Amino acid sequence: MISSGRGHLEYPEKTLYELLAQTAGDCPEACAMDLYGKKIRFGELLREIGRAAQALSACGIGPGDTVTLCMPNLPQTMILFYAASRVGATACMLHPQSAVKEIVFSLRLTGSRLVLTLDQFYETVLTAVQEYAEPVTLVVARAADGLPPVAAAAALLSNRRYGAFPYAGRGILWKEFLRQGAASSPLPPAPFSAGHTAVILSSGGTGGSPKAVALSDLAFNACALQARHAIGTEFGPGLSMLSCMPCFHGFGLGMNLHAALIHGVTCLLMPAFHIRDYAKMLLQKHPNYIAGVPTIFDALLHLPGMEKADLGFLRGVFCGGDTLPASLKETVDGFLRSHGASVEIREGYGLTECVTASCLTPLSGWHRGSIGLPFPDTDYAIVRPGTEKLLPCGETGEIILTGPSLMQGYLGDPAETEKALRRLPDGRLWLYTGDLGCLDEDGFVYFRGRIKRMIITNGFNVYPSQIEAVLQSCPGVREAAVIGVPDPRRMQKVRAYVVPAEGCAPDAASRAAIQEHLQTWIARYALPREIVFLPALPRTDVGKVDIRALEQYDESLPV
């Protein structure tokens, strides 16, 4: 059985920049971004993108080059993101809390020639750039830049250690970077090219190990246009989106930012998610649309000051990034109704390999437990895992999908690309998701679990195999296995099971040494919250580590 998306759309052959420029030309005075009260209108945003594009050109960056953005949700991030598109370059988005080795790996894989980061992450990024040992321009934005005066003063006070920046010969400030392009010649147009890689995002891959996903302009723009159609309500100038999902995540960049901006919707930027800030934004800014992972909506139920809040301003509430339990959906829906909202939470599903969401719960007619209907021009099917055999309605198998938002492939990994993208007898290219699900007779999609091993914590993908490899290299560790365990706030937290090497005691000192080793290689959000020592790891009949047994292990038992 195949479930086809409702409707058909036209997808213009335009770059990311061109689609945004078209919107800015239509509504130059509309507010594009609002950072804690400091607003940037669309016309101003386009001018700033032009300045940044001139600066990139002055650095010799153009078609075929890659720039890396190791940034949270800030105006400078989106300005450089679209500036890269303006000059025909590729934007690689990295978590700003990435470990040194992760940054070095990405720089080498993409061949980046420029890195933008925030002052508070400068030292880690500088270390990575120095280890990279290739010519690269390091640009540093200050946390205070772009904030209203009072907020800027507070940010500077909290970051006094960066007051003397820049250090000689080790990077340039954002404002100086922009000035470098002032004398550059006018830029030639960077026309649309179907084969151009516009964005690189990190993903677990359909096999569960870290991958760099290459996405075209068409894929990114198509996903944004499809999402607008699937939303089914007014979505344009005068409305706002609470953009708290991070820009280095497909959901954040594709839905919370790009989809909003190209339709003229104001992005209320949140550089980081904090529950109290989220409450303030809801109660003071009255965003019309909010999108997030289940942990955010679970937190919504407990936000301080929400007891008597009127949420009638909400026009859309969307959830993705992890499974939304039906019980949580019903609880959130009840909360919204009791606080004056006329909308319900709508769940979507997708992967970085198709930018982000590719199906969404419709405005009405929700089927309990489903993740919705496919986007326009997108088809879903269920096959026997790893095969081309279609399964009938109601039978669980591997979810595969096809449509205009599919990735170009995994950068530098043709073998994994071939496994994930397969041309079937119908002549179309299909994405094998590595996820289990089924379809009902009305075409609704149901997510049943993951074939691949991957942990999702606070909406971020964490790859056990990566952490296990680092653990195995740690002195004092003989064997290790990593799993995700339920957590009331994060949905899952990372737990590592470690078998100490001979002569190493399973004590607090060993645990601290392991954590210190991990911090050099693993991003902070992916670090194990728990390290449990075992005399041996459980094994299956064929000698593999028995992950299921570890998932059922009672950590309270004596070791």
Alpha carbons 335 and 1: distance in angstroms, whole number: 37
Total structural domains in the chain?
2
* Residue 382 lies inside a defined structural domain of this protein: no
Which domain does 299 fall in, by range? 2-338
What's the CATH code of the domain at 314? 3.40.50.12780
462 and 334 in a single domain? The answer is no
- Using a 10 angstrom Cβ sphere, with 0-12 exposed, 13-18 middle and 19 or more buried, the burial of residue 546 is middle
Q: For 88, left (φ over 0), alpha (ψ -120 to 50), or beta?
A: left
Alpha carbons 97 and 118: distance in angstroms, whole number: 10
Three-state DSSP class for 441? coil
* Residue 362 lies inside a defined structural domain of this protein: no
Q: Which residue has the tokens 């390290």?
A: 531
Query: Taking the model in full, what pTM does it have?
Result: 0.87
User: Which of 276, 305, 338 is the endpoint of a domain?
Assistant: 338
* Residue 194 lies inside a defined structural domain of this protein: yes
Instruction: Calculate what percentage of the chain has a pLDDT beyond 70.
Output: 93
Q: Which residue has the tokens 């599903």?
A: 349
What's the CATH code of the domain at 464? 3.30.300.30
302 and 176 in a single domain? The answer is yes
Per-residue burial over 356-389, b if 16 or more Cβ lie within 10 Å, else e, is bbbbbbbeeebbebbbbbbbbbbbbbbbebeeee
Alpha carbons 123 and 410: distance in angstroms, whole number: 29
326 and 468 in a single domain? The answer is no
Per-residue pLDDT in tens (0 to 9) along the chain, 559 residues: 899 998 899 999 999 999 999 999 999 999 999 999 999 999 999 999 999 999 999 999 999 999 999 999 999 999 999 999 999 999 999 999 999 999 999 999 999 999 999 998 999 999 999 999 899 999 999 877 777 766 665 555 555 555 555 555 688 999 999 999 887 778 988 899 999 999 999 986 666 567 999 999 999 999 999 999 999 999 999 999 999 999 999 999 999 999 999 999 999 999 988 878 888 899 999 999 999 888 788 888 877 788 889 999 999 999 987 778 888 899 999 999 999 999 999 999 999 999 999 999 999 888 988 999 999 999 999 999 889 999 999 999 999 999 999 999 999 999 999 999 999 999 999 999 999 899 999 999 999 877 777 788 887 878 787 898 899 889 899 889 999 998 877 788 999 999 998 889 999 999 999 999 999 899 888 999 999 999 999 987 556 788 888 988 765 443 4
Residue-wise pLDDT for 350-391, tens only, equals 999 999 999 999 998 889 889 999 999 999 999 998 899 999
* Residue 522 lies inside a defined structural domain of this protein: yes
Residue-wise pLDDT for 203-261, tens only, equals 866 665 679 999 999 999 999 999 999 999 999 999 999 999 999 999 999 999 999 99
DSSP H or E stretch at residue 483: strand 477-487
Residue-wise pLDDT for 309-321, tens only, equals 999 999 999 998 7
For the chain, give the mean pLDDT.
90
User: Which of 308, 338, 368 is the endpoint of a domain?
Assistant: 338
User: Which of 338, 357, 373 is the endpoint of a domain?
Assistant: 338
332 and 474 in a single domain? The answer is no
* Residue 535 lies inside a defined structural domain of this protein: yes
Q: Of 367, 370, 392, which Cα lies nearest the Cα of 381? A: 392
Residue-wise pLDDT for 484-530, tens only, equals 998 877 788 999 999 998 889 999 999 999 999 999 899 888 999 99
HSE-CB at 260 with a 13 A cutoff on CA atoms is 32
* Residue 104 lies inside a defined structural domain of this protein: yes
Three-state DSSP class for 502? coil
* Residue 371 lies inside a defined structural domain of this protein: no
* Residue 434 lies inside a defined structural domain of this protein: no
Judge contact between 497 and 481, C-beta under 8 A.
Answer: yes
Please name the residue ranges forming H helices in 364-420.
Answer: 414-420
175 and 322 in a single domain? The answer is yes
